[in-house]
Each structure stands twice: as structure tokens, then as C-alpha cells.
Amino acid sequence: MADIGDVTEPDPSVLGKLVYSVPGAKNILEMPLLAAQVTKFKCGGFVLGLAINHCMFDGVGAMEFVNSWGETARGLPLSLPPALDRAVLRARDPPQLEFPHHEFAQITDDDSDEVAPPPHDGEPLLHRSFRFTPASIARLKALALLEGRPCTTFEALAGFVWSARTRALGMGPSRRSKLLFAVDGRPRFAPPLPAGYFGNAIVLTSAACAAGELAASPPRAVRLVRGAVEAVTDAYMRSAVDYFEATRARPSLASTLLITAWSRLPFRAADFGWGPPSAYGPAALPEKEVALFLSCGEERGGVRVLLGLPAAAMAEFQRLVEEVTAA
């Protein structure tokens, strides 16, 4: 197991061997909905590698599935039986598009900052993960208080990462920068979705701002994140379902940061009879537009941020992170 190394700094050449991939598969129709691979080591440890089609379920549903699998392996009844009726999220007929869905819009402006290629475009990526302790997150929350009422850990950290990444990339001050992230709709629908809902219940939401404004006022980024979260109401989500059914649109990632938050998923609850896992994480590195939020193992309240940037931008991003984490 020691040969795997530090999973918080994933090496795809190593971890990729622990997740099954179908030889010769070129598209989604040639891949199984779920593939599981168990790799046993001489030391007695083992790794469960999963490749899951996102059409089946979101992160919450995936962890409920894995945890139920563990309960079955231990001979226990399911503590949370799956709710399989997906009709509760069926699009309306006719569609009712009641809100603009900027998460699918491509950023296009005629400003000179916009027509010029982004700085570092085409440069190879350097991936790193950054640990934010509860103390450093508290400092971020304190900075965000300058904009008014208290914020959540996600709002504070997402606002900081969005602002710092934008600064590190050296985007022109008038270039628009977009933030995308998913919100779990289960408790936000009216009425809430049934416990154990087995499917995708996430809704993408977005915020956008000129790069110069983000660089000048990181607390403003937090306020924009909060606004994007609060926009996700029952009516908004129903409109989003109808919008997607009518258009089959895909989110544009131009000048965009997409945050994927795994930090609150109950990985340590997965128990197949040997207790909680000693380590867990992604087997692949995030794409250049993606930042992944992960938990810090057994440390409560800490978050690890994994992302990729060109080398020069990564050095600047690290400097901005250290201003918060080294204090």
C-alpha cells in the first residue's frame, strides 16, 4: 500500500491502474454504467477502485450506494433504502423557462481583454493540492465578514479560490470570469426529495464578474458565491430541468472555474467489514478548468483544494494561499 504514495497528490500513472477501464472503449456507449476493481496488496491491504457513469447518480447518490454496499457486505439491513422514482424530477410539458440560466452561457465580449487569448493559454499544467486548516478557513470567513453577514465554509473558500486563481492567471481586468458549482437540490425542492433519492439531484449555479473586480475585492467574490447558492430555489431548479430538457445544452467552460466539492461526502462511512478507509480520493487529476475540494482525512473542518495551473500561475496562486494559511 505504501507504494501508492500520497493520494492527496494523485499520480494518474499509479492510481489509474487501480480503476478498471474498458480496453478500446471510445465513447460512453461502450462503457459500463459502473465498474469496480479490487486490487489486493502483499501487505494485506486492498483498494476498491470505482468508475461510475454520472448519468446514474451524483456524488451524494454514489456515496449512499457505496455505504449501502458496505452494509450488505457486513450482513446488515440497509439503513437508507434507495428511492428509485426519478419521475419526481421529470420536465414539465410544456417547458416553463422562468429564469435565465447563465451557467450554460458562453462568455463573449468585444473588449480587447476578451478577444486576446488568455494568459498562459496552451502551457502544460502543474497540479498541486493545498490544505486549508480550520484556522485558515476561519481567517477567510473573517475577511468575508467585511461584506456583511457570516458565510459558510464553502462560500468563503470558493470565493477565495475563484479570486486567487483569477489573479494568478493574470486575466485582463475587464475579462469576465465565471464560477460554476453544483448545489444539492434534495432539501431545496418543495417538497424535499425523498431520503435516499437515487439519481442526479444536483443543479449547476453560477456567478460572473470582471477579473479586475475579483482581484480588487476577494470578499466580493464571496458575496457572489452566496448569491449563486441562494438563487437555487424550487422554482429555479424546475426551470433548470425544463431548460435542459428543451435545449440539451452543456455548460460553457470558457473563462470559467468549475468547483467540484467532495469535502462533505461521507467517504469514511464506507465500511466493508474492515472499518473506515485509510485513504480515499480521485484517481485522475482535474481538468484545467476544475478545482476539487476534498476533506482532510480525519481532521474535522479542514479542506484540501486540488487544481491544475501553468507553472508561473501556480507559483502566484501558492503565494496567495500562503498569505492565508501561513498566518
- Concatenating the DSSP letter of every residue in 90-109 gives PPPSS----S--GGG-----
Which SS3 state, helix, strand or coil, does residue 72 take? helix
- HSE, CB side, 13 Å, CA atoms: give it for residue 42: 2
Q: Which residues pair with 127 in a beta bridge?
A: 308
d(CA 203, CA 317): 28
Whether the upstream peptide bond of residue 23 has omega within 30° of 0, thus cis, is no
The catalytic position among 11, 113, 184, 271 is 271
Sort strands 290-296 and 256-261 into parallel, antiparallel or unpaired. parallel
DSSP state of 220: H
Please name which of 212, 160, 127, 164 lies closest in space to residue 316, comparing C-alpha atoms. 164
| Longest pairwise C-alpha distance within the chain | 64
DSSP state of 194: P
d(CA 258, CA 204): 10
C-alpha cell at 65: 450506494
Say whether 101 is catalytic: no
Radius of gyration of the chain measured on its C-alpha atoms? 21
C-alpha cell at 131: 490544505
User: What are residue 244's phi and psi, to 5 degrees?
Assistant: -65, -40
* Residues 272, 277, 283, 285, CA torsion sign: positive
d(CA 284, CA 32): 18
The catalytic position among 54, 85, 109, 234 is 54
d(CA 195, CA 226): 26
C-alpha cell at 72: 450488505
Catalytic residues: 54, 271
